[in-house]
A and B are shown apart, each in its own frame.
Chain A
Amino acid sequence: MLYEGFRKIFWGFILVFVEIHLMVIDILPDPIGYYLIFSGIRLVNHYFGFTNKGKQVALGLVFLSLPTLFIQNQSVIQMSGSSIYLSLIGIINLVLAFYLFQLMVSIAKQREDDSLHQRTTTMFKIYMVTMFFVTFLEPFSINMTEGLKMWFIVFSAIFGLVINIFFLALLLKYSKLSDGPSDRSSYTAESEPAIGTHD
């Protein structure tokens, strides 16, 4: 169950992060990605008896992200309706990631897996602080000179990409946890080094 829930969340984020536009339509549609995330969180919530709010946020994003099917998420940052909309989606994504981290922290706690708990909380802080700065600085780009704006876009894209790869790797790790807290000792010994190569 755990495996399936986090695998859905993982693939959901892949759909959200990767954009391939054929003609004008995104062939990896974000709403489907958010739906996968929603149903993944629902599974995990149900299994552990959690009430993680990420479920509602993901469901909201299923509908809110419908226009992204037709908007090219270019890094051309300028003042327009679509850029404000995309930033709004970005902020809600941050909220969604926050709840997912909370979900992962609760699971690690429940499994009494200290190393996983440690890794998740560290990643939680790094992710939120980095993404906060990237999202906070983004609107400054509309007032930047061309040269500075270019550097900003390049750096924020690299930071965003790297941090989200770490985030995906963590989701993948959770998706490979075996069900039930009983066999946690065997899991940590085996899978820790293997997962490490993903980072």
Chain B
Amino acid sequence: MKERFLWAGVLIIVFSWIGNYAYFQSKQLDHPIFLDHFYEATLGEGTSFTFYYLTNKQDPAVVTHVQIDGVEIVNVLNDGHGIGVWQNSSEPSFVQEYRHHYLKSVTLELNEEFIPDNQTEPILTFETMDVFFNDQSSIHADVGTVKICREDRNLHVLDSQMSSSSNQHRREETLVTREAISIDEISIPFPEDLEGEVAVKVDFDQNRLKELEKVRDNGEIPAWFEENIEKEWNETTGLPIEEKELFPITLNENEWMQVGMYFNPDRTSYFEFGIHIKGKKSESGHTFDQTVPIIDHPYLGQQDIDEIIAEKVGGQ
């Protein structure tokens, strides 16, 4: 074998290093990127939120503290994947691992003493956070939209009966009225941001829904209830909440309603909010605003991550 083959080989290996290193460097983020979150929470003891962000695998970031509007109204409960065991380990903790990045989470607990007492709802809404990392860097991060409201227990008019969800980004919830009410509107929060991301259908077919009463006495769950969630979204029972002629609708005490929800499976944002059911109590005339809670997190593949980075880095 000739010596020039050796040197040609060595040269190719060196180029392989340079090429791979350049590609690796081009994939590094200047700073962590927060994903979009649409969160609604009620103020209470230990109210916390988990935010998700992307960071370089090489030297991953760790959140030390967070300010909202310049005030430290949240405490960092943990940066990482939940459980405390992970925190003592020297291995970085992450939710998911990608080619060059980690998807990490940081859980923030609301510091109640900073919340002003007498304010109208929502008490606090924010779209950005100032996030400080353990390497002394900090970013002004867009995190989606977070709303914090005060809970009003007196106006609880609907009891949740049965709910089911599928991994196909679907959820069904059945509710029963505590007293006679009229519903004026069912709405999805964050209307500007979530247009097309969530679809909701409601069904007030008492004849059918009353069959579910059997379940209370340990009866069988009717087959249609479970079949419904497996069906294609447009074939499911109920009418979309956008149909304005649906409302107002009056329900007597102990009457049923079914709410079906469908989330855009291709979206990359985190949902933890409620579908708002607004109306009046028939007797007292008091208004209510009750929510059907939604928790739906996206599954993000490598391609989603690449697209999020291209969008968030390119858009800045």
Asked if A pairs with B, the answer is yes
Flag if A140 contacts B20 (CB, 8 Å). yes
Residues of B within 8 A of A168 (CB): none
Whether A124 pairs with B100 at a CB distance below 8 angstroms is no
- Residues A143 and B9 in contact, CB atoms below 8 Å apart: no
Is A139 in contact with B20, judged by CB distance below 8 angstroms?
A: yes
In the bound complex, how far is the Cα of B5 from the Cα of A136, in angstroms?
14
Q: How far is the CA of A139 from the CA of B24 in the complex (A)?
A: 10
- Known contacts: A79-B24, A143-B23. The answer to whether A91 contacts B13 by CB under 8 A is yes
Give the chain B neighbours of A78 by CB distance below 8 A: 58
Instruction: Give how many B residues have a beta carbon under 8 Å from the other chain's beta carbons.
Output: 23
**Least distance between B89 CB and chain A CB atoms (Å):** 16
Contacts of B126 in A (CB 8 A): none
Whether A128 lies near B9 (C-beta < 8 A) is yes
In the bound complex, residues from chain A placing their C-beta under 8 Å from that of B98 are 145
Answer whether residue B254 sits at the interface, using C-beta atoms and an 8 A cutoff: no
B252 contacts the other chain (CB 8 A): no
Contact with A along B269-311 (1 / 0, CB 8 A): 0000000000000000000000000000000001000000000
Q: Which residue of A lies closest to B99 (CB)?
A: A145
**Closest CB pairs A-B (n = 3):** A139-B20, A139-B17, A98-B6
Check if A125 is an interface residue, CB within 8 A of chain B: yes
A146 within 8 A of B: yes
> Is B16 interfacial (CB 8 A cutoff)?
yes
* Beta-carbon nearest neighbor of B12 in chain A: A136
| A35 lies within 8 A of chain B by Cβ | no
Q: Which residues in A have their C-beta under 8 angstroms from that of B97?
A: 146
Interface size bracket, A side? 20 to 34
Indicate whether B155 reaches chain A with its CB closer than 8 angstroms.
no
B87 to chain A, nearest CB (A): 22
Within 8 A of B (CB), among A118-145: 121, 124-125, 128, 132, 135-140, 142-145
Q: With an 8 A cutoff between CB atoms, is A94 at the interface? A: yes
In the complex, what's the smallest C-beta–C-beta distance from B14 to chain A, in angstroms? 8
Taking the closest CB of chain B, its distance from the CB of A95, in whole angstroms, is: 7
CB within 8 A of B17: which of A87, A101, A124, A132?
A87
- Which residues of B lie under 8 Å from residue A98 when comparing CB positions? 1, 3, 6
Residue of chain A at shortest CB distance from B98: A145
Given A128-B1, A128-B6, answer yes or no on A143-B13 (Cβ-Cβ < 8 Å).
no
- Against A, the Cβ 8 Å flags (1 = close, 0 = not) of B76-116 are 00000000000000000000011110000000000000000
- 14 A-B pairs, CB-CB below 8 angstroms? A78-B58, A79-B21, A79-B58, A91-B10, A94-B10, A95-B10, A98-B1, A125-B1, A132-B9, A136-B9, A139-B19, A140-B20, A142-B21, A143-B100
Determine how close the nearest CB of chain B comes to the CB of A14; give it in whole angstroms. Answer: 24
Write the nearest CB–CB distance from A82 to chain B, whole angstroms: 14
A145 touches B16 (CB 8 A): no
Q: Name the CB-closest residue of A to B302.
A: A145
Q: How far is the CA of A183 from the CA of B100 in the complex (A)?
A: 61
Structural contact, A132 and B1, CB atoms closer than 8 A: no
